[in-house]
Structure formats: structure tokens, C-alpha cells
Structure 1
């Protein structure tokens, strides 16, 4: 919200396509490195990378405030929060084993990304709506799956030592953060009213 009210920052981020795309690529690089190297880095470096990613993500997501009305952003946020909360509680309390969902959901995310990239060139509104609904389903399921996975890791005591435990907590926070943000963005594509 802050970034969307700063004309200088908006001009910098969205003034040229290269800066915006560069920031998106930087976000992906940070998430990739953080996910792959989290237990190799120091706790301070992991925390800095997580906070840096969150700030960078906030700056790039400021375009949401430029494209959609505040009322539709707020209502979509509350729908997302409710959906996320319910599915996270389901993942936490269910007796069903959701571990089998992992590979299927990973493949579904890859397929979704490919369909979205293809649609950049096709610019097909039907494909955009279909990918939005599929994205909602995938990230709703991922919320339950990731919550159960994090609960199992905590109960099994897989992490050894306070620093490793803190790093695992940050990785869990990143995972759920990505689920929430993606769920929000897909719901906004469906329910959001453009300016």
C-alpha cells in the first residue's frame, strides 16, 4: 500500500518493463536460493533474505492497488484470509494423510505456470479465467498440505538445535506466505473490480 502511494517508487518500478521484470526475477531467485540453501546459510542471512523478499514482494505487488479498486482488494483479502484459515485448520486437524498430494500439487503448479506463460502470448480471456480457477484450487489444497507437512515436522522434532529450528520456521513461513499471496492473486483475478 505504501509503495502504491509513492509516485517516485511507482515511476521507478513501473516506469520501464525491464525494472519490473527484473524485480520479479530477483524475487524468484531469492525464493529459489532461500529454499535450496536455507540450512547452509547463517540465521542472520536467512532472516535478511526473508525480510528482503517480503519487502520486494510488497513493492512488486503495489501494482494491485493501481489496477483494482480498494473495495475489491479488501473484500478479496478477507475471502482469502478466511479460505486460507479454514484450509490451514483442515490441514492441521485432519486425520487424513495429505502427503500424497505433494507430487500431484507440484506437477499442477508447473502446469499452471506453463499455461500462464503460454497465455502471455495468446492473451486468451477464457484461458485466463480457467487458470485463475485452477490456481485457486491448487493453492487452497497447498495450504492444507503445507500446514500438515509443517505440523508433522514440528511433531517429529526433525530439526535439531535452536538455529536449525528457527531456519525451519522461516522456511515454513515462506511456504505459507507464498500459498497465501498466490491464493489472493488468483482470487483477485476472479473477483477483483478493475479501476
Structure 2
């Protein structure tokens, strides 16, 4: 190896180290936002479930009230806003919308404390967290491109959502079981796919990008947050002990 080749090797190695550091910094920021949102949702869900006055506004003996459905619709609106219009927002507004979404989602998730025992919720949460960590690590370090799997999983998710809507009317136990199993598999795969996608994004941007950097991190946190919550809810169908 001559001096020129040695110099190129050093330059390539240096560039790889810089890129790896950028990716690690970006992913850390994403995880920070996701963890903060999960904490808000968990605390809000527990507080709501133990506040009779708030529960009475959201639920009656015959089922959810208009407020509960309004919160569900509000959640969808906030997710759409963060997904499609976050770059038109100021950073402060994007942060506020994301955290407000996690708060509202916590309120709607309070229903699980009414349906399942606390011990089974805690057990399922830790299993979900462990599964998330394993699949996220896999997505981060995997050499294989997961893009094609991401597209397949996204299409499968649409199928599951359609099946869930149909089963509201059919009330078929077997279909419910199948959608639950498929749902777990889909979100396990999406965790790896989204992590790899965010890692690749981290290689292209750095903190010098200003507010845009933090906005993209918030978008990434939202995608992983949704993956975790949905994985938890699908697992809860299997592992949760009803009251």
C-alpha cells in the first residue's frame, strides 16, 4: 500500500467514525423523545384510571362517552399534523403537539387499567420493552436492507386494520385471534424497520441542521412510540389477565 492508498484508507475510516457518531447522536435524541412521551402516556393513563371524576366524563356503564371518541379523533388529527405538517410548525409548536398527543393518548389508554389487572399490565409492559429493545438493536446493526420488508409490513398493517373494522360487526373470536397474532408480528418487524430508517436518516443530517434536526427526531420518536404502544396493546390481548 502506497502513501496515497494509506491516506485514502484513513480518510474513509475517519468519515465512517463521523457518520457513526452522527447516527448515534440522532438515534439517542429520538429515543429520548420517545421515552419522554411514553412516560407522559403511562403516568396520564394511571392517573386517569384512578380519578373517578375524569373517568365519569369518559365512560358510562353502557360504554365510552362522546368525550372519549372526541379524544380518539383528536389523536388521529395530531398524528396526521405531526406526520404531514411538522416542517411548517415552529420547533416549540412541534414539541407541544407531540407531548400533547402523548397526554391525550394516555387518557384513552386508561381503559386498559379498567379491563386488566395491574400485575398483567406491568408484566406485558416489560415484555414489550424487552422485545422493543431487541428488535431496535437488530434494526440498528442489521446489514440487510429492510426497506422491502417495511413496505410489506405497511401493507399487512392496512389489512389488519380493515379486518379489525370488519370484526367490530362480525365479532368473530378466531378472526380476533388471527389479527392479534399478525399485529404482534407486524409491529415487531416495524420496530426494526423504523430503527434502520432512522439510523440512515441520522447519517444524512446533524445538529447543524438547526430546528429541522429536532423536528425530524420528533417524527422518528412518534413512529417508534406508535410501534411500542401497538405492540404492547396486541401483546396485552394474549398476556393480560382481565378483571
Check whether TM > 0.5.
Answer: yes
3-state SS in 2 of match to 1:194: coil
User: In the comparison of the two structures, how many residue pairs are matched?
Assistant: 195
Report the alpha carbon displacement of residue 158 of structure 1 after superposing the two structures with TM: 7.8
1:155 to 178, 194, 203: 203
Q: Which residue pairs with 2:48 in the alignment?
A: 3
Measured in 1, the distance between the counterparts of 2:112 and 2:163 equals 21
| 2:234 is the alignment partner of 1:186 | yes
Q: Give the whole-Å Cα distance in 1 for the aligned partners of 2:207 and 2:150.
A: 21
Distance (whole Å) between structure 1 residues aligned to residue 207 and residue 82 of structure 2: 17
SS of the residue 2:88 aligns to: coil
Cα RMSD (Å) of the superposition? 1.3
User: Shift in Å at residue 164 of structure 1?
Assistant: 0.1
CA contact (8 A) 2:183 2:231 kept: yes
Q: Please give the TM-score of this superposition, normalised by the length of structure 2.
A: 0.78
Extract unaligned runs of 5+ from structure 2: 1-45
Answer yes or no: is 1:59 the counterpart of 2:104.
no
- TM normalised by structure 1 equals 0.96
Q: How far 1:124 moved relative to its partner?
A: 1.1
**C-alpha distance in structure 2 between counterparts of 1:114 and 1:68, whole Å:** 25
Q: Secondary structure at the match of 2:87?
A: coil
- Whole-Å separation in 2 of the counterparts to 1:53 and 1:160: 27
Quote the residue 1:18 is aligned against: 66
Gaps of 5+ in 1: none
